[in-house]
Amino acid sequence: MGPATDSEKFPNDHTLDTDPSHSDESTTVAPVMNDAEKQADLEPSHQQEAREIGGWKWVVVVLAIYSSQFLFALDQTIVANVQPAIVEQFKSVDRLSWVSVAFLFGAAGTNLIWGKIFSQFNTKWTYIATIFVFEVGSAVCGAAPNMNTLIVGRAICGVSGAGMYVGLMTQLAVTTTIQERPMYVGGAGLVWGIGTVLGPIIGGAFTDSSATWRWSFYINLCVGALCAPVYLFMLPNKDPRRGTSFVNRARELDGVGTILLIGAFFSGVMAVSFGGVMYPWNSGRIIGLFCCSGVLFILFGVQQAYAIFTTPARRIMPVEFFKSRTVLILFAVTAAGGTAIFLPIYMTPLYFQFTRGDGALQSGVRLLPFIMLMIFATISNGAFLSKVGYYMPWYLAGGILIVIGGALMYTVDIATSISKIYGYTILIGIGVGLFVQASFSVGQAVVKPEQIPSSIGFISTGQITGITLALAIANAVFLNKSEDGIKAILPNTPTAEIQQAIIGMGSALFDDMSDEERQRVLEVIVSALSSTYALVITAGALVVVLSLLLKRNRLFVTPAAPA
């Protein structure tokens, strides 16, 4: 088969060699990135090509693509309110942490891999494959007869969900012009926000109904089946290396790097998730996991730096991105943004459940002001970034708002009014919405077109890693501080009973307390919840500092045609 036509490849730049047969010996991205970043105003290196699809067909395609974003976001938070029901059915509280860890490990450990895969294989069919595997994982979770099967299903959903996320961003990259791309990436952020906040609400609603918690996973099958015809018959067929056999493409993947990276993430995620919760931080298990993760990351770094058992063009880590200050900053601020989003999503409902007696559904609904304003800010960023082109101010303003909102939430106590909680979290939501999705558009604009999937994988790795670490640390801080404080008040209460009460799987402890003891315990729990917002303050401060190091150039703006 001959070379692909322009419509079958990624968006091209005539100044770049796009012959699919030369990829192994291609030059590094660094010179191109440096040239792009040195431009004072406009970023003309990406050709402005018209979309192949328009009208109602384009609307249908975009909605179908966004649906995968919705499912991935939904799956990240839907288990928050179904865990008590899962434990009650399977009687496996000791393995409950794995339900979340398996998903996070699968997502965090494979983002870079998916970025490489999407740069090698047909984007349409790779994207469809990730959705199919995700649906299989959802079916496994819904039909799980025991906890071990549920954990396996969650791991499958995490791996394939990361592929859907990278695939969605890749689909937007290859089907939109660079000028309109920020708007559509912003739309993806809107859908992600909706899915994230609806997760606890939908999970709680299913759990409290006759449908049971299993439909929290079966719902994914319904959405996937509805959108399947669009994926199969309307999604544009893009192939970055048309004419190269599947076997040759697969052979060029970095197998050694993949194994080392997955192992490093697996041991690292387990260490931060179980440390201080299931095992003491100084236990041999946790220390061993940290050491294993560190050694594997070092081996991975050496293997990638010297292209051992691979070639510079085939290695999984886009090493050339480390030569770009902009891309590295985008990685870090996106990780910080993930922290600022997910910590309030998990901690705010807990505050209302303990202080106001809210159920799972009502406490999830109280997140709507936070999410709706974050969505509004994300849409505004996407719309104005396409027109104005300057991206640095968005990060600076967003970081400042996150610091202010996080600092205010750090002061919350048991008597803080509901309106103040709404106001404080809204500041965080607006702040993070101003930049969290922009990183994907900016990253795509400063790399070579054929490196777009890798840039998406790289930046999304930062996002998922930030979320994983933030939730693990926040969970450990909350549980440890709450447990220590309650033990001081109720020294004769078994540790297991305290832990179950803290995570909402038992109310007998609170029922047996006097009013004074209950008040003191609630004060301890709220203090522990508030202290986790130190992570949000830190994340916002990091965004502020790094935003000052970003370039002041313009992107996404098409140069005016000569008169």
Q: What are the residue ranges spanned by the domains of the chain?
A: 55-253+316-483+530-547, 254-315
Two tokens at 374?
């974050």
Give 419's pLDDT tier (boundaries 50, 70, 90): very high
Evaluate the CA torsion angle 288, 289, 294, 295 in order and state its sign.
positive
| Contact partners, residue 222, CB within 8 Å, separation at least 6 | none
CATH fold of 55-253+316-483+530-547 reads Growth Hormone; Chain: A; (1.20.1250)
Q: What is the DSSP string of 106-144?
A: HHHHHHHHHHHHHHHS-HHHHHHHHHHHHHHHHHHHHH-
Q: Which two tokens stand for residue 537?
A: 């303050």
Is 215 a residue whose pLDDT tops 70?
A: yes
Taking residues 472-501, report their average pLDDT: 83
Give CA–CA dist 515/58, Å, rounded: 60
pLDDT of residue 93: 65
Query: At residue 333, what are phi and psi to the nearest 5 degrees?
Result: -70, -30
- What does the pLDDT read at residue 407? 98
List, for residues 444-471, the tens digit of each pLDDT value. Answer: 888 888 788 888 889 988 988 898 888 8
Q: 279: which strand partners? A: 275
Q: 186: helix, coil or strand?
A: helix
* Identity of the highest mean pLDDT range in 98-112, 260-274, 532-546: 532-546
Q: By C-alpha distance, which of 155, 153, 175 is closest to 59?
A: 175
Closest alpha carbon to 174 in 323, 414, 12, 318? 12
Distance CA 135, CA 137 (A): 5
CA gyration radius, the chain? 23
Summarize pLDDT for 110-127 with one digit per residue, the tens.
988 998 899 889 999 999
Q: What is the pLDDT of residue 68?
A: 93
Short-list 532, 104, 99, CA closest to 350: 532
Quote the pLDDT of residue 41.
39
Structure tokens, 180:
């309109």
- pLDDT given for residue 94 in this prediction: 64
Q: How far is CA 113 from the centre of its chain?
A: 15
**% of the chain surpassing 70 pLDDT:** 88
pTM of the model: 0.80
pLDDT of residue 67: 94
